[in-house]
Chain A
Amino acid sequence: MNKCLFAILILSLFLTGCWDRRELNELAIMLAMGVEKVEEEYQVFAQVVVPSEVSMKGSTGSTKVTLYSAKGETVYEAFRKMTKDSPRKIYPGHLKILVMGEELAKEGIGESLDLLSRDWEIRPDFYVVVTKDTSPSEILNTTTNLESIPANKMFNSLQMSEKAWSGTKSITLDELIADLISDGKQAVITGVQLIGNSKIGSSKKNVEMVSPAASIQYDHLSVFKGDKLVGWLTEEETIAYSYVTDSVKTSVRRISCPEGGDATIAIEKSHSDVKGYIRKGNPEVDITIKVEGNIGSVECKMDLNDLGTIAELEKIYEKEKIAIINKTIDTLQKKYKTDIFGFGEAIHRANPKEWNKIKDHWEEEFSNVTVNVNVDLKILSTGTVNNSFLEEIKD
């Protein structure tokens, strides 16, 4: 009797399934998602991988991804409606990039983000970008070279350009939400543009050309006030923003030589420290940026063996950098009146009592904050050569 019961128990182990199982062939893996507002409704796009095209075998040569879209009054509704079109349920667990439409951003992105933070399958570690002068559908419709899955291209090139150039800024969903709710910091999101012909861009023809007819490029940084887009920063201002918020990994910067011409400094390391104070009742911010770099290229005549030249180059760089940063801060204080640098947070950390008094009208206070910028560059090496061969060129 006991043995019989035992056998039944053991056998029943093999009969169990998993309630929540979903086989790979039932999933449509979404790598990129787009949200746009069209006439009071959300239009949601899902860029889904076509598994048979990604695999080495069995590829028929059609596009590697496909785009589904649906409209609905809420993002979630639209998202589920996509099954009307898609044969499989969209699986968002591997989402890499979220493309927000510019129109939506101008009206406010808050509501559309809630689903993404609430749904259990979505992880908040994907990047968020905003389209500039284009729409999410155009961006997500573009085929790409080198990385055949456009979402991967977008993800990697944002990561790379942030690392190597610092003219873009990657923002993940959790960072974005943290910025949106903070009293002392406003959000920024990097912009994405479509360069070229979007019609050819959506077909496979696009990737058959050496220089594609359409390509996706990151440019400009959108500035938010609350959850509404209020303006765009230029590339130079974006770099300044990256320096202040300590997100520069490496970058290069042109400077003018003492006697005319150009040189480039390759920045290897940057560290910024933002300190807030209340001095005589007025909020003040000190920014100290310590930069280390090498001489990347020399396109002018100067004697690099001279210690004086190096010191002079450092000074020129520091002066130019301070000017750009001051100009950027000025733009934000005067034009957009929004504190994207987190000066409010810096003051909050330094002096919570005073901060509580000013936080309700921080928007106006921010415009009057005195900012002291201090940049310190150390040039470490001159690359593999000392003096440039330009010195020796005979006329």
Chain B
Amino acid sequence: MMQNAKISTYQFLILVTLFTIGTSILIVPSGLAAKAKHDAWIVAIVGMVIGLVVIGLFCLIAQWFPHLTFIQMNEMILGKWLGKGVSLLFVFMSFIYASSLLFYSGTFLNTHLLPNTPMASLNILMAIIIVMGVHLGLETIARSAEIFILVFFVLFFFLVLFISPEVKFENVQPIFEAGTKTVIQSTFPFIEVTSVNAIVLLMFFPVNVNNRKQASKSFFIGYIIGGIVIIIFTFLSVSVLGAYSTAAEVFPSYELAKRINIGDFIQRIEALMAGLWIIALYFKTTIYFYASVLGIAQILNLKDYRPLIVPLGMIAAVLSLVIYPNVVYQQNWNQTTGIFLSFSIGVFLPLLLVAVYAIRKKQLKKAPESS
């Protein structure tokens, strides 16, 4: 097993940040603006604060058995067969999301950058890099994340700097028109993509983090950094494009990059900025894929997860092509099915674990020592 891979708390923090930003950076502003209009950025702030509670829940679970992954924890707490059943659901979710993210990156490139290239070739290329990453192991992924986060933040910094002259505060006024009810309602999709899905991080947190005590702190900090990036993006989208365009665009943050124009000199650099989304999407997909591969290996009690990587990679690439017939279906699926799937795995399952753990506490405390 890859149990002895170790990543530092800083590397873990970066992975959390990239995971939080991941898809959200592309699609969240649009979804939020559709419901909350010009108050979308407020929803993002509220969502981030609520998300902290969810992250807190994960940290709570993680500290019971710091040497076990989430899959092993399920088995430990819920018993062998129930645990395996629940774990299968968990693996199913992360695998579906890995393919769905491949679909995202394919659609994104297809709509904006390479419209004539078949999506299959784009997805296969992306899948190959992901398979490579997972094959090389968590340590390599973490180290490359360390490098790419710099690229990410440099690009992010320039994007924010260059787009700031275009900000029109009229677009976000009047502030808080949406009202508390709408704001709370529209936070759910945000919480889903940013924090609830972060449950897949429990596949290597805190097992593979070298300093387990500091790891929880990194989880929070990483999440907050990622959240702030999304809040900034949402705010910029609404204040530059206006609430209507933000909601109408499929990828509003890319449209944002298109608007950059400093003195008719620095302009048309959106293709460069696309690097931002590719980096974030890559790491999020890789983490999902890693979680599903490792999860299957652990459910089947395999010694090594590597033999599974290539076949699952192929399945993911094919699945990404057939998973959604079109973008509209995908948006619909996210709003109806996806959100329940995420919440049942990412919130109700942990809560169930908390309840069962509370009942079986004494019994369980003995178990790890004896095993």
Contacts and interface: CB of A to CB of B under 8 A. Distances in A.
A174 B170 contact: no
Contacts of B241: 174
A76 to B, nearest CB: 14
B116 A19 contact: yes
A159 to B, nearest CB: 10
A111 to B, nearest CB: 16
Contacts of A352: 174, 177
Contacts of A177: 245
A349 B170 contact: yes
B30 to A, nearest CB: 15
Interface residues of B, number: 21
Interface string A332-350: 0000000000000100111
A351 B117 CA distance: 50
Contact of B245 (A178, A350, A351): A178
B245 A348 contact: no
A348 B171 CA distance: 11
B111 A125 contact: no
Contacts of B111: 120
Contacts of A349: 170, 173-174
B365 interface: no
B244 interface: yes
Contact of B244 (A120, A181, A350): A181
Nearest to B249: A117
Contacts of A19: 114, 116-118, 121
A348 B174 contact: yes
A20 B174 contact: no
Interface string A348-359: 111110000000
A123 interface: yes
Given A174-B245, A178-B245, A120 B115 contact: yes
Interface string A122-142: 011100000000000000000
A349 B170 CA distance: 8
Nearest to A342: B170
Contact of A20 (B115, B170, B258): B115
Contacts of B268: 123
A220 B115 CA distance: 40
B112 A120 contact: yes
Contacts of A348: 174
B261 interface: yes
B258 A123 contact: yes
B259 interface: yes
B336 to A, nearest CB: 25
Nearest to A22: B116
B313 interface: no
B242 interface: yes
A20 to B, nearest CB: 5
Given A120-B112, A123-B258, A178 B242 contact: yes
A270 to B, nearest CB: 18
Contacts of B170: 345, 349
Interface string A168-183: 0000001001100100
Nearest to A174: B245
Nearest to B169: A349
Nearest to A21: B116
Contacts of B261: 125
Contacts of A18: 114
Nearest to B270: A123
Nearest to A121: B115
Interface string B78-97: 00000000000000000000
Contacts of A345: 170
B304 to A, nearest CB: 22
A359 B178 CA distance: 16
Nearest to B113: A20
A352 to B, nearest CB: 4
Contacts of B258: 123-125
Contacts of A350: 174
Contacts of B177: 352
A125 B259 CA distance: 8
Contacts of B114: 18-20
Interface string A185-216: 00000000000000000000000000000000
Interface in B233-273: 241-242, 244-245, 258-259, 261, 268
B117 A20 contact: yes
Interface in A17-48: 18-20
A123 B258 CA distance: 7
A200 B245 CA distance: 43
Interface string B112-147: 111111100100000000000000000000000000
Contacts of B115: 20, 120
Contacts of A123: 258, 268
Nearest to B177: A352
A178 B259 CA distance: 15
Interface string B171-203: 001100100000000000000000000000000
A78 B245 CA distance: 26
Nearest to A346: B170
Most chain B beta carbons < 10 A, residue from A177, A348, A349:
A349
Interface string A112-123: 000000001001
A20 B117 CA distance: 6
A367 to B, nearest CB: 24
23 contacts: A18-B114, A19-B116, A19-B117, A19-B121, A20-B113, A20-B114, A120-B111, A120-B115, A124-B258, A125-B258, A125-B259, A125-B261, A174-B241, A174-B245, A178-B244, A178-B245, A181-B244, A345-B170, A348-B174, A349-B170, A349-B174, A351-B174, A352-B174
Given A123-B268, A174-B245, A174-B259, 4 more contacts: A20-B114, A20-B115, A20-B116, A20-B117
Which 5 interchain pairs have the tightest Cβ spacing?
Answer: A19-B117, A349-B173, A352-B177, A352-B174, A20-B114
